């Protein structure tokens, strides 16, 4: 059980860091960078990114973080490490509520609307981008913060486990 807990904890830390970094990079460079080009180029680029991000290298860590964190919590509870288990449980909940849920409820529907929108003139592209970028960016900032807090809670869980 200890080996399972250690593996799940390290996977959680690694995958949560990957996701926090992905969300952070979009918040501080990708969307601001797209805001510097004409809207028709921004729409085309974001459509391309949205099509390419649906791959196992993104989807596996994105979906695995709350599962590995919860698995770690269960294993640590079984081993009698309540404080560490609670930190991992909190990590699973923060990621689920702050990264996973906004992605499903807001960012993906916005991506779908962007993909379906008509951007055949500069004016239409500008309107489409104006409807997309501000809200997508706000919710991506939430995902970035939740991912970062998930990494911190995982670190706290590892610290508490080691200290016990």
The full 3-state SS of the chain, as one line of letters, equals CHHHHHHHHHHHHHHHHHHHHHHHHHHHHHHHHHCCCCHHHHHHHHHHHHHHCCCHHHHHHHHHHHHHHHHHHHHHHHCCCHHHHHHHHHHHHHHHHHHHHHHHHHHHHHHHHHHHCCCCCHHHHHHHHHHHHHHHHHHHHHHHHHHHHHHHHHHHHHHHHHHC
Helix axes 56-78, 82-95, angle to 10 degrees: 150
The per-residue pLDDT for 73 is 98
The per-residue pLDDT for 153 is 98
Q: What is the residue extent of each domain of the chain?
A: 2-163
The per-residue pLDDT for 80 is 97
pTM, two decimals, is 0.95
pLDDT, one tens digit for every residue, the chain (164 residues): 899 999 999 999 999 999 999 999 999 999 999 999 999 999 999 999 999 999 999 999 999 999 999 999 999 999 999 999 999 999 999 999 999 999 999 999 999 999 999 999 999 999 999 999 999 999 999 999 999 999 999 999 999 999 98
CA distance 80 to 39: 55
Rg, the chain, Cα only: 18
């Amino acid at each position: 059980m200890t080996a399972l807990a250690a593996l799940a904890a390290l996977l959680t830390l690694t995958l949560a860091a990957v996701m926090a970094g992905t969300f952070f990079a979009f918040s501080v460079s990708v969307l601001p960078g797209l805001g510097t080009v004409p809207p028709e180029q921004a729409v085309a680029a974001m459509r391309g990114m949205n099509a390419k991000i649906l791959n196992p290298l993104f989807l596996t860590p994105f979906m695995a973080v709350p599962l590995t964190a919860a698995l770690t919590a269960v294993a640590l509870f079984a081993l009698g490490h309540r404080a560490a288990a609670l930190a991992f449980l909190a990590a699973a909940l923060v990621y689920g509520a702050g990264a996973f849920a906004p992605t499903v409820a807001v960012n993906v529907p916005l991506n779908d609307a962007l993909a379906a929108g008509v951007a055949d003139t500069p004016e239409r592209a500008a309107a489409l981008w104006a409807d997309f970028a501000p809200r997508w960016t706000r919710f991506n900032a939430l995902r970035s913060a939740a991912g970062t807090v998930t990494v911190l809670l995982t670190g706290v869980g590892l610290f508490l486990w080691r200290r016990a």
